[in-house]
């Protein structure tokens, strides 16, 4: 069990902030008790903070009412033990503002937002993206993390992100998970001056070592093994790059398996196998992962003595 540092409650936030999976019963309904157990495990496993309602939380299969239930539950159950980031992405500026205000009122430390997009073709240009984030920023008093990910289909250059960091008050954290994330992190940091409080990476931490070398100070990973990511990040922050690299090499096969084979199901598979939650169900129309992919994930996790496999026993 890895202790979550109390210093993580203070800005600038840094470290591992995994995405909390949404827990369902076998019939697809919300499992709120299982949700609480997942949160408790992730904190006990060393998460410096948590992120809820992200894509890896299956936010796209949740109703607005369920989002409100889960936001309220998570923030009340965490009860200030670690900072919580609430994902509030929506194409509508007004709806995104409403979601952000609710998250702030309930105690969120930060909101994470993708640039506005819809489907495969509806996009907003730079002027519209700037106005979107400016309007949201003006409506709240907590930091905004811009999620720069391929799913939005919206090109965001490092220079444009740096401009928003410099000119928009609450835009201060960035989750970079595009191809060439390390190069973009360097460009963002170089162009922003002091505007970027948190240059972070994502994509399950698969490029974490390159991104740390580029200046990343945090990583938003999957939720199945925060204990493993602490073994990488703790020595890194202590100035021991060699130890961090060795830990990254040790955990990389499991990170790769999650990223390429099991995706957002990985955390729930590990939690269900370890007795933390009752079901690893994904909500339809998503299907369970391939049996052999599940077997391979558990094999790699057992070899690394992942806490999730014994926390609930």
C-alpha span between 303 and 51 (Å, rounded)? 27
Nearest residue to 38 (alpha-carbon basis) of 72, 69, 8, 73: 73
Q: Which two tokens stand for residue 298?
A: 């558990």
Helix then strand count (H, E) for the chain reads 12, 10
φ, ψ of residue 251 to 5 degrees: the values are: -90, -15
Both tokens of 262, joined, read 């099991």
By the 10 Å C-beta count (0-12 exposed, 13-18 middle, 19+ buried), 145 is classed as buried
Catalytic residue among 36, 175, 243, 295: 175
Indicate the SS3 state at residue 52. Answer: strand
- For residues 88 and 71, what is the distance between their CA atoms, to the nearest angstrom? 10
Task: Please state, in angstroms and rounded to a whole number, the distance separating the CA atoms of residues 93 and 140.
Answer: 13
Active site residue 134: no
The C-alpha angle 214, 216, 218, rounded to 5 degrees, equals 160
Q: What is the C-alpha to C-alpha distance for residues 81 and 278, in angstroms, rounded to an integer?
A: 24
Catalytic positions are 175
């Amino acid at each position: 069990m890895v202790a979550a540092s109390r210093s993580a409650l203070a800005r600038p936030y840094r470290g591992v902030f995994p995405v909390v999976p949404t827990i369902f019963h076998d019939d697809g309904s919300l499992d709120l008790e299982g949700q609480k157990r997942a949160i408790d495990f992730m904190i006990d496993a060393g998460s410096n903070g948590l992120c809820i309602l992200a894509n890896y939380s299956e936010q796209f299969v949740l109703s607005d009412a369920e989002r409100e239930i889960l936001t309220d539950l998570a923030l009340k159950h965490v009860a200030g033990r670690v900072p919580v980031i609430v994902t509030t992405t929506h194409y509508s500026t007004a709806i995104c503002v409403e979601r952000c205000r609710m998250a702030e009122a309930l105690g969120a430390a930060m909101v994470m937002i993708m640039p506005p997009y819809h489907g495969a073709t509806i996009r907003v240009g730079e002027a519209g993206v700037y106005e979107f984030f400016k309007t949201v920023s003006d409506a709240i008093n907590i930091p905004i993390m811009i999620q720069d990910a391929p799913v939005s289909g919206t090109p965001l250059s490092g220079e444009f992100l740096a401009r928003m960091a410099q000119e928009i008050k609450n835009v201060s954290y960035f989750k970079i998970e595009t191809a060439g994330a390390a190069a973009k992190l360097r460009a963002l940091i170089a162009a922003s001056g002091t505007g970027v409080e948190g240059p972070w990476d994502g994509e399950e931490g698969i490029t974490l070592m390159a991104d740390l070398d580029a200046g990343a100070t945090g990583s938003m990973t999957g939720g199945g093994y925060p204990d493993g990511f602490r073994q990488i990040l703790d020595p890194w922050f202590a100035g021991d790059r060699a130890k961090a690299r060795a830990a990254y090499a040790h955990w990389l096969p499991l990170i790769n398996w999650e990223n390429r084979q099991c995706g957002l199901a990985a955390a729930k598979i590990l939690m269900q196998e370890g007795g933390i939650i009752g079901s690893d169900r994904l909500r339809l129309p998503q299907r369970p992962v391939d049996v052999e992919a599940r077997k391979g994930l558990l094999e790699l996790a057992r070899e690394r003595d992942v806490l999730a496999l014994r926390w609930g026993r």
